[in-house]
């Protein structure tokens, strides 16, 4: 969001407008706004909303893995993705369209496996 604006007129007109804006802003700050009545606080425990439960950090499918094992799995999948990418980028692969399609599907599967592993890894870092 930039601070540039188009003004049609000369400097004197612009300066006059800016002074009026500043004066209007000062007047708005001086006039107090009426305060709203605060709602009465609930007195009984039943009237209070339930407290949100703390997020259980051990809910993911990979939560039982140690950090080292989690990192090994991430590295293995990333390595497989790199090999599939290399095969996809090979022009000879596309001489057989079914082979290219299978490799693309394989890459999508690997990427889908990688997402929950990376999410678990990021949660543990926080």
- Residue 47 domain-assigned? no
> In whole angstroms, how far apart are CA 10 and each of 3, 19, 20, 92, 115?
18, 15, 16, 67, 58
- Residue 9 domain-assigned? no
pLDDT, tens digit (0-9, with 9 covering 90-100), for 71-117: 999 999 999 999 999 999 999 988 988 999 999 999 999 999 999 99
Say yes or no to pLDDT of 44 above 60: no
Q: What is the pLDDT of residue 126?
A: 77
- Residue 79 domain-assigned? yes
Q: Tell me the whole-structure pTM to 2 decimals.
A: 0.52
Range of the domain at 109: 67-125
- Residue 40 domain-assigned? no
Structure tokens that stand for 23 in this block: 């004066």
- Residue 91 domain-assigned? yes
- Residue 116 domain-assigned? yes
- Residue 19 domain-assigned? no
- Residue 29 domain-assigned? no
Q: Count of domains in the chain?
A: 1
């Amino acid at each position: 969001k930039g601070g540039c604006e188009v003004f049609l007129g000369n400097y004197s007109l612009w300066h006059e407008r800016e002074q009026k804006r500043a004066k209007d802003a000062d007047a708005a700050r001086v006039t107090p706004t009426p305060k709203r009545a605060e709602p009465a606080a609930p007195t009984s425990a039943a009237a209070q909303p339930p407290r949100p439960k703390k997020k259980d950090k051990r809910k993911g499918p990979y939560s039982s893995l140690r950090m080292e094992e989690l990192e090994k799995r991430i590295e293995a999948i990333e390595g497989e993705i790199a090999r599939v990418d290399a095969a996809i980028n090979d022009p000879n692969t596309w001489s057989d369209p079914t082979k290219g399609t299978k490799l693309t599907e394989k890459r999508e599967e690997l990427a889908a496996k990688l997402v929950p592993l990376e999410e678990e890894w990021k949660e543990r870092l926080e």
